[in-house]
Structure 1
Amino acid sequence: MFSKNMSNLTTVGSSRLFPQGEGTLLATGSYDGQARIWTTNGPTLDVDWRNNVSFATSSTDNMICVCKIEETRPIKTFAGHQGEVNCIKWDPTGSLLASCSDDITAKIWCMKQDKYVHDLREHSKEIYAIRWSPTGPGTNNPNQQLVLASASFDSTVKLWDVELGKLLYSLNGHRDPVYSVAFSPNGEYLASGSLDKSMHIWSLKEGKIVNTYTGNGEIFEVCWNKEGGKIAACFANNTLCILDFRM
């Protein structure tokens, strides 16, 4: 929940959490030439924009808030997790919001109801990251199924059928916690980065590893370029690697 008067009444181009204050400050910059600082009730762990004027936040108080920049209070709050909420992500159309938590669950929410739509329980340890596939109605890949990927400290990545709330695949290949996952732009591949110093590339059609890259440090973040031919990985030894990917 935000305590400052939310007077940004123009397009917000950027937002960042402050590293000081345990994540309780959020900075926004907008096209009206103003930069503003907002305070939150508890340490904020993630922010994801739904569109140009609304966004969701998650925090260590187990809550999720959906906010609008001209409103002084959240327009929606979601309660259901029993541990801090590590990551939140809107689906490609902004219709569904996914969350994951230290309570070992991922959940899917929609703005039309207060209770979660699906409660996803197949991991055995904390879930650190989630990502939606760039597929389904309203995307560039409309004929492919919309799925959700979750990365956990149990060393697995799981893929979920978001319509039924059921597990599709469990991707087992890492030896240590998985910190990051990212779908290729065409939705056919998934990259996963782990503390085991490896990044796996998975074929979603086959459910198996098609390539592995190993570095000299733990991997905390992976992402694709928009063409899908390169993958970036951030390592704990202060290096960033950009890798070519061709199939």
Structure 2
Amino acid sequence: MGKGVAKREDKAWKKVQKAEKRKAALGKVHADDKTTQSKSSEGHAKVAKATGDQRYMNKLFASLSIEETEGPPEIAQEELDKMTEAAKERHLFLHEKAVAAYHEEKARKKASAWKMLHKEDKFGFMSVADIIKEEPMAVTAFRSSKTFKNANGLGSYSCMWNNSGSMILTTGHDRSVSLWRPFAVNGLPARKLKGHKGWTIQACFSPDDKNICCCSSDEMYIWDPTNGTLKAEWEAHDAMINGCQWSNTGRYIVSCSNDLTAKVWSAKKAISKGKKGAAVVHHDEEDEEDEHKHHKGVPAEFTLPMEGERGHSSAIIKAAFSHDDSFVITAAKDNLLIMWNLKTKGCKDRVFQGHQEAVLNIAINHDSSRMASCDNSGMIIVWDPKVETPVHMLHEHTDICYVVIFCREAKEGRGRIISAGHDGRILVWNTYEGTLIGETKSQHSSWITSAHMDTSNLKLITAGMDSKLIIWQSLPPAPKQYEWVERAVRFFKKLERGCRL
């Protein structure tokens, strides 16, 4: 018994000694931790003080939303207005650094993705990289990625991306032009340009994104999108203007009207003579006879038709320039399309007949090898500008077709047409074969009045009479038998949208 008790006591004593050693070790660890934390906090304070710029950049990076962001963060104009000049200068400098770092990081990820994806298909088909390169031709449908409500009052008549893909403009029933920064704001326009005489039927960016041309009632307007100032305003027609467009070279502006004419204006003359620097005045029906009179100081370069020449017999709805500004095509309610040669001072070249009802829209592709028009019956006709007879007649729409646009394709002889209208369908067509590639069901609660595709061929916007502006993301098809191809394409698209991995 004595040996057993002694053994237990010895064991208990060793346990106590072990506990004391552990306690002493833990105390030392805690002391070391406190010292480390103290040193660490001092170091962090020094680092934080020395790297304020980096923290600001990190904050900007953190603000990038995976679902909504397509590019680097934008600068809020309201925030800049509140700053002093010195603070504003520092803010802009830091923002430029953050944007540069963002693009550098995105380029690095993209290069890494290409390296990973560029592998040959062992079955003899295309590699993943080749499939992605062909993706703009292969798109068959679109997925809604963002919706803005209350775009322009009771209805939106037109919408357009700028060339850099960072801003959208819409026009509509509320007599204003709304400018949107879709990847920097949530549901509110960045700026509204007000002061138009009537409904804003159509507006478009200049090729350099420095000006906006807009038509309203019988007047034309030119705005500066950066600060919202009115550069020019003049009375252009004797009746309602139905559309306007900036030429691809930026030299001309065309407008078309219910007075049976279309007019081509010099952009430089319009800005210099069209009441430059005029103050913005809000028009009301009862104050049209005030000091804000119409300004007629801008002479047109060409009036179509020329004097003594026969043109359209009904209201001209739309007009479009060729890629090199060599000709203009006008579409009217008399079911005709007319080509006007600008190299011969606006003489009539060809008349295109094929529609049985009023032509509502006209589009020309990026190399002027094809035209497309749509009418009141829903029919779409594809034309060769050199031939007066239709190339393809597309009858898939069951109601009025308001929208027909071309997607800019990288390869010659290939392309797509996107159409939409009263039946709520967004259709994708093969330009040269005249076949239906795919269809997307609209999420508008009313008919679609306008659409536009950005220069990357990845984002489509639509506007409708429900005052919604919807951004659509393209959905590329992948071979169903190869799941790895589908995963690879989805992975690449995430990188294109600026997602973090």
Q: What range describes the TM-score normalised by the shorter chain of this pair?
A: 0.7 to 0.9
Q: How many matched pairs?
A: 224
Segments of 4+ in structure 1 off by > 3 A? none
TM-score w.r.t. length of structure 2: 0.42
Where do 5+ consecutive residues of structure 1 fail to align? 1-10, 137-145
CA distance in 1, matches of 2:351, 2:406: 22
Which residue is equivalent to 2:476?
Answer: 246
Contact 1:229–1:246 (8 Å) recurs in 2: no
Contact 1:82–1:103 (8 Å) recurs in 2: yes
CA distance in 2, matches of 1:194, 1:229: 21
CA distance in 2, matches of 1:114, 1:227: 33
SS of the counterpart of 1:117? Answer: strand
CA distance in 1, matches of 2:393, 2:457: 23
CA distance in 2, matches of 1:52, 1:232: 23
- Select 2:214's aligned residue among 16, 20, 23: 16
Which residue is equivalent to 1:27?
Answer: 221
Q: How does 1:1-247 map to 2 (within 5 A)?
A: 13-18=211-216, 23-29=217-223, 35-40=231-236, 41-50=238-247, 51-68=249-266, 69-70=268-269, 72-79=298-305, 80-111=311-342, 112=344, 114-135=346-367, 146-186=369-409, 188-215=415-442, 216-241=445-470, 242-247=472-477
Q: Per-residue deviation at 1:166? A: 2.3
Q: Once structures 1 and 2 are overlaid, which stretch shifts more, 63-72 or 169-178?
A: 63-72
CA distance in 1, matches of 2:384, 2:232: 39
Q: Per-residue deviation at 1:34? A: 5.7
Contact 1:12–1:28 (8 Å) recurs in 2: no
Distance 1:225 1:245, change over 3 A: farther
SS of the counterpart of 2:451? Answer: strand
Cα distance per residue 1:114-153 (max 9 Å; x no partner)? 54211111001000100001125xxxxxxxxx11100111
Cα distance per residue 1:57-90 (max 9 Å; x no partner)? 1110110111224273212111201111100110
Larger radius of gyration: 2
Q: Once structures 1 and 2 are overlaid, which stretch shifts more, 223-232 or 195-204?
A: 223-232
CA distance in 1, matches of 2:243, 2:396: 27
Structure having the higher strand fraction is 1
* C-alpha RMSD of matched pairs (Å): 2.3
CA distance in 2, matches of 1:110, 1:122: 21
Contact 1:195–1:218 (8 Å) recurs in 2: yes
Where do 5+ consecutive residues of structure 2 fail to align? 1-208, 271-297, 306-310, 478-501
Contact 2:353–2:388 (8 Å) recurs in 1: no
Which residue is equivalent to 1:7?
Answer: none
Q: Per-residue deviation at 1:29? A: 2.9
1:246 partner amino acid: P
Q: Per-residue deviation at 1:154? A: 1.8
CA distance in 1, matches of 2:251, 2:364: 21
Cα distance per residue 1:26-63 (max 9 Å; x no partner)? 221369x7623211322111112224342221110110
TM-score w.r.t. length of structure 1: 0.83
CA distance in 2, matches of 1:87, 1:245: 30
Q: Per-residue deviation at 1:12? A: 6.8
Q: Per-residue deviation at 1:234? A: 2.0
CA distance in 2, matches of 1:157, 1:235: 20
CA distance in 2, matches of 1:100, 1:223: 19
CA distance in 2, matches of 1:70, 1:223: 28
